[in-house]
Copies of this chain bind each other. A is one copy, B any other.
Amino acid sequence: MTPDGPDPDTARRPASARDRLIATAARLFQEQGYVATGLNEILAGAGAPKGSLYHYFPDGKAGLAAAAIDAAASGLEASLKQAHSTAGGAAGMVEAYGEMLAGWMEASHFRRGCPVATVALEVTPGDDAAAQAVREAFARWRTALSEAISADGVASKRADALAGFTLAAIEGALILARADASAEPVRAAAREAAALIRAAKPQG
């Protein structure tokens, strides 16, 4: 939802051209959306020549977007799992995660939201690699959330419903946060979702 990794503009050289392209694309998609981000802009930001793009991503912009989304999904999934082990439970994980996202939004002055949501809204569903990557990203997050909630003892069906709801609430909150230039919706959404998860946990 708000992955960063090392800023590709500051620490540019170490990573490969391919990785720099992915990181730059993800960042620009967050800030401006998928369609509004030009290939030239990505190329310039990554310091890569034009031919490289079609060498690494023969499917062009959609292929690069798919890779960027995959990378973002992996990063966020890892953050989620780390938050789980740190917090020791699904509810705490969601709270920690919301706090992290809220901090990221504030750090970017509410310019960087979820790189997946933008692509999701700007691409006609089902048509290309990017749309598929969007589906997979959401599915991975939902699964990760669901497993964490299940691990708390919640029945798997209920856990999955709560996971979907939590994901929706956070994604929606990121949009509201961007529009209002305030991280409050994200923190509030995480808090409410966490409360719901706690309430679903079998007592004792």
Q: Which A residues contact B (CB, under 8 angstroms)?
A: 31-36, 110-111, 113, 117-118, 120-122, 124-126, 131, 134-135, 138, 161-162, 164-165, 167-173, 175-176, 178-181, 184-185, 188-189, 192, 196
* Chain A interface helix/strand/loop/mixed: helix
Q: Is the CB of B35 within 8 A of A135?
A: no
Distance (Å) between the CB of A154 and the closest chain B CB? 14
Total identical chains: 4
Can you name 11 extra interface pairs (CB under 8 A) apart from A168-B172, A192-B196?
A33-B33, A35-B36, A131-B179, A164-B189, A165-B192, A168-B175, A169-B172, A169-B189, A171-B172, A172-B172, A172-B175
Distance (Å) between the CB of A40 and the closest chain B CB? 11
